[in-house]
Structure formats: structure tokens, C-alpha cells
Amino acid sequence: MESKISKQAKDIIQKYTSSLFKDATLEFYGIKTAKIKELINVELPEVTVKAYGMDIVFLLEDNAYLHFEFQSTYNKKDLTRFAAYDLRLFERDGREIITAVIYTSDVKKADTGLKIGSLMYNPVNVMMIDYDGNAIYEELDRKIKDGAELSDLDMLNLIFLPLMKIKGDTPRDELAVNSIKLAQTIKDKNKQDACVAAAYAFAEKYLDDNGRKKIWEVLKMSSMLVNYLEEAITKDRTEIARNLIKEGATVDFVKKITKLPIELIKRLQSEISNE
């Protein structure tokens, strides 16, 4: 059940993240490309996901790919891994690929690329240490409280906020939680849902399992997922209940397993007996 719900949640997160980034440009971060068209799922079965999983890939309006990687440390071997994945993706789809490596504020400098004889690989480095997270947070907080219209850049800054330079020793998972909570106060529901989804989608890429659990707990309270997940869970439990009833399980046993109301279980019993 959990894996099914997780997949459904990711589907809706992708939908809202795509809506936020559609037609966006990222020149503020030094990434100069055509406008983003949509977020896509990239799965290359020939590559071991654990070792070579690609982070986030967008399709651009000029039909090129924009590939994001998130790094909280610098290791030159990672560039080799990114290059290998881009080559696999190019081999499969034949599209130009622009890769942006987004380094958290923990990284002060990184090589601009690889040069291996005749082979060169030059991703765009985005150094989040160059961005004042405190000033950006204060500006976003003020705008949201005043009910001011958020620009595309405001919403992108909200998503990247946990990666920026922040005064103090606040853990990055707490920064991610704070950015999602701030997004949840946006009055425009469409922008709120889009920012929350995108903030989660990006945070999932740079946090460890404990950090992901923290932001998932916050995300579950977001309006975009609550009704969707409740419906998905109910449907799944209803199917389990139907199967148990067909096997002769009692009402009390079905209720204990599925946590469904007795009235619903009895109605399912009646429907099954009339089939």
C-alpha cells in the first residue's frame, strides 16, 4: 500500500512542480537556457539507480534537456558520474543536455568541469554560498504577509532557500521544513500548491532519509495532497476489504485490518453477496 501511495503522491508532486517551472527561466542563478517546458521522468534501466540516479530533468522549449544535480560536498568523481549519465541519456534520446550542478552553501568552490584529452564536460555550477538566504527569506516573508504578488523569481528563491547561505547553525532539513511552511502561507492556492510541491521535490534530492521524513510530515498537511492521499488510501483499503470479505472474513476482522467504518464494510458485504 505504501509504495502505491508514494507513487501517487509523486505523480501529483510532479504535476504541480511542472506547473511552477513551466515558462520559467533561471538566469538569476546563471543558468541561461530556453524556457522550461515540463518536468520529465527519466529512467535508464541500463544504469544502477543507486549509483547513477539522475536528479531532476526538465524538457526545454527548444527540445533540449536541463539536468539538475544537487551536491552538499564537492568530489571530482561526481562530475564523471554526471557526465556518464548525460551520455547515456543522449545516446537514448539524442537531445542536447545542459547540466547544472547546484552546490549547497557548504561548498565554497568546485571545478568548472572535466577535461579528459579530447573529451570535455562543462556543467554550469550554481554556488548557493553566493546567495544571502536570510535577506531573501525576510523579503519573501514580508511579501507573503502583505499579500503581495509573488514573481516567478520569488517562488524559485523559496524553493532554493534551504540551499543558500544562512546565518547560524540551523540544519538543512529544518531550513527545508521552514521553506515549505512559509510556502504554505501563500494566499494564492495555486501558487501555494506549486511552491510546496516543488520545494518538496527538490528537498528530496539533497536531504537524507531522516530529513525526507520531516518534510513529508509537513507536506502531508498541504491541501494539495490531503484529499488526494485520503482518497487513494480509502480506495486501496476498500479493495483490501472486498478481498477479505470474499474470503469469508468477519466484519470485525475487516475493520481491524482496514480501519474502515463498519457501515462501509457492511455495504461492501451486501454488494458482494449480490454480485
pLDDT in tens, 191-211: 998 898 888 888 888 888 888
Rounded Cα distance between 273 and 233, Å, is 24
Rounded Cα distance between 209 and 204, Å, is 9
| pLDDT reading at 9 higher than 70 | no
**Nearest partner of 196 among 5, 15, 47, judged by Cα:** 15
The x, y and z cell numbers of residue 88, run together, are: 547515456
Give the three-class secondary structure for 98.
strand
Amino acid at the residue 142: R
Q: Which range is least confidently modeled, 73-87, 146-160, 189-203? A: 189-203
**Confidence (pLDDT) at 3:** 43
Rounded Cα distance between 241 and 219, Å, is 28
Mean pLDDT of 83-103: 94
**Confidence (pLDDT) at 105:** 95
Rounded Cα distance between 129 and 172, Å, is 13
Mean pLDDT of 9-23: 80
**Confidence (pLDDT) at 174:** 93
pLDDT class of 94 with cuts at 50, 70, 90:
very high
Q: Which residues pair with 31 in a beta bridge?
A: 26
Residue 114 contacts residue 83 (beta carbons within 8 Å): yes
Amino acid at the residue 187: K
Rounded to two decimals, the pTM is 0.76
Of the two residues 37 and 6, the one the predictor is more confident about is 37
Per-domain residue ranges for the chain?
Answer: 31-129, 131-221, 227-273
Mean pLDDT of 170-184: 92
